[in-house]
Chains A and B, each alone.
Chain A
Amino acid sequence: MDLTTLLVKGLIILIIFVITLTIAAYSTYGERKVAAFLQDRIGPNRAGPWGLLQPLADGGKMFFKEDFIPAQASKWLFILGPCLAMLTALMSSAVIPFGDTIRFGNYAIPVQAIEINIGVLYIFGVVSLGVYGVMVGGWASNNKFSLLGAIRAASQNISYEIALGLSLIAILMMTGSLSLRAIIDEQATFFEWNIFTQPLGFVIFLTCAFAECNRTPFDLPECETELIGGYHTEYSSMKLGFYLFAEYINMFVSSAFISALYFGGFHYPFMSEISGALENSMGAIAGHNVATAIGIVMFFAKIFFFIFFFMWVRWTLPRFRYDQLMNLGWKTFIPLAILNVVITGAGLLYDFKYATWIIAITMIGMVVVSNARAPKREVVRPGVV
């Protein structure tokens, strides 16, 4: 690796870092706008045009608030909590391939901070570390509610990580690689996107991603109605800001992860035709770079859709009860994910990729049958008083 490659790599890392932070900052704005629009309101519109400077104003507010550390709290752990949350959130975007390669001269540099052949494992490791930020912060606060929130976060993440991993194993079996780039390249043609080969796995993965990000309907660690503020009850100022920020970064990373695993990453329909045409008309290098740029834009479009989806679900569904959460995780998702792995394996044995549709179709059939057999709900007539 010579100096040019090193410089470009550094530049890409810096750009990805900045993009992650910017997207996380604007997710807070987006969250408020989406919430407002879903509730027939307009949302923030005072700071700058259309309220676009709102994240800056929020950040400024966060910095100028009193940074309070409770007297009984374990001071260093209390500070470490949000730092850990932020650190792990920022680390996980390193292995996501945002695009194909950029060519200049003889170099071809992948648009990715680091290409490692265990990208999926890396993300899993870092995401599992992420719960330590919540745990340590909630525990160090020396507050019953914070501790309860932290315990909830820990047990919820442990429960859902299993289903998350199992739903992923089906994909790993099909690809035969842990590298995210390899998984994306496997989905080059439209109907081989994993959403079409793994519909059930996708639903399980998506739901578990919600639980891992502590987003509604699984935001029990910060459940206001029961736990005041959950693990960040005692936090104020930018420490609280870091926790909230880490949540949005996690949302961005999991959106990117979902798009990469199930929606073909930077691939889009007729990609090879378009890039071929571009290379013919603009020359091999420029055409390739333009095609890469289109791919990056497509990838970000998918990411933004999933960020929007996260918000859309948040402002639609109420929170689960804790026993419902645990039942769903242990009694539904884990068995289903295992079944998914088994069926996928059986399908691969006969070289048939779409085997898991059997489960999906069976489930839809069962729903229809159970609906047909269920006693009709009594229609309440507008009665005469």
Chain B
Amino acid sequence: MQLTNRSKQVSNKEMTLAEKMYLPAVISGLAITIGHFFRKKPTIQYPEVKKYLGPIYRGHHILKRDEQGRERCTACGLCAVACPAEAISMVAAEREKGEETLYREEKYAAVYEINMLRCIFCGLCEEACPKQAVYLRHDRMVPVFQERDEVIYGKDRLVEKMDDRYIRANNSEVNTTPTEPSLTRAAT
């Protein structure tokens, strides 16, 4: 069976005089490498230059708020169940009177923690969430950490800031369907 047309039969035939002299082969090899010397380099200077990774890249987690700025999460725990790395843990609480502007449902997550050392950024929490609350944002990555106590991200670092709302913008060059049609509208 032939898998590719680039395969070559190995032969152990005697070398011709030109091949024994090595020089023609050496010169043609040098010509090939010098061609690469002047070629444009494909390297992207990473920390200074960042590449657009596409609208479905799975980066930093975010707990979305709704249009009125209320937290969407109701602490149902489905994300924690779905998480294969068991990175998510939460404590549920009941909404008090007067907190209607803060939380959308009667139950909310008083504590919501993700262990970034455990997280494998698979996005299963995003898929499991029935309230469209947790997302892995496409435009930001979890920063590098040096200390172990920096690793567990609480609500202070996960809940979306109202002045810095996350929009999963659909890049015009990349044709993908947004996961939730209301998302782009919700954010603006």
Do A and B belong to a common assembly?
Answer: yes
Q: Quick check: B43 and A316 within 8 Å, CB to CB?
A: no
Q: How far is the CB of A292 from chain B (nearest CB, A)?
A: 33
Taken together as a complex, chains A and B put the C-alpha atoms of A129 and B43 apart, in Å, by 44
* Chain B 5-23 per-residue mask, 1 if CB under 8 angstroms from chain A, else 0: 1011100000011100111
Residues of A within 8 A of B21 (CB): 363, 367
Q: Quick check: B18 and A367 within 8 Å, CB to CB?
A: yes
B30's contact among A42, A316, A385, by CB below 8 Å, is which? A316
Residues of A within 8 A of B3 (CB): 385
Q: Quick check: B16 and A371 within 8 Å, CB to CB?
A: yes
Q: Quick check: A203 and B30 within 8 Å, CB to CB?
A: no
Residues of A within 8 A of B9 (CB): 380
Residue B26 CB within 8 A of the other chain: yes
Residues facing B in A1-57 (CB within 8 A) are 34, 37-42, 45
A382's contact among B1, B5, B16, B42, by CB below 8 Å, is which? B5
A: number of interface residues (CB 8 Å)? 26
Q: How far is the CB of A163 from chain B (nearest CB, A)?
A: 15
Q: How far is the CB of A199 from chain B (nearest CB, A)?
A: 12
Q: How far is the CB of A39 from chain B (nearest CB, A)?
A: 7
Q: Quick check: B17 and A367 within 8 Å, CB to CB?
A: yes
Residue B24 CB within 8 A of the other chain: yes
Given contacts A40-B41, A380-B8, A382-B5, contact A370 B30 (CB under 8 A): no
Residue B36 CB within 8 A of the other chain: yes
Residues of B within 8 A of A380 (CB): 5, 7-9
Taken together as a complex, chains A and B put the C-alpha atoms of A45 and B46 apart, in Å, by 12
Q: How far is the CB of A361 from chain B (nearest CB, A)?
A: 14
- Which of A45, A203, A367, A382 has the most B CB atoms < 10 Å from its CB? A367
Residues of B within 8 A of A381 (CB): 5
Taken together as a complex, chains A and B put the C-alpha atoms of A380 and B43 apart, in Å, by 35
Residues of B within 8 A of A371 (CB): 16, 18
| Top 5 A-B pairs, shortest CB-CB distance | A382-B5, A370-B17, A367-B18, A316-B33, A374-B16
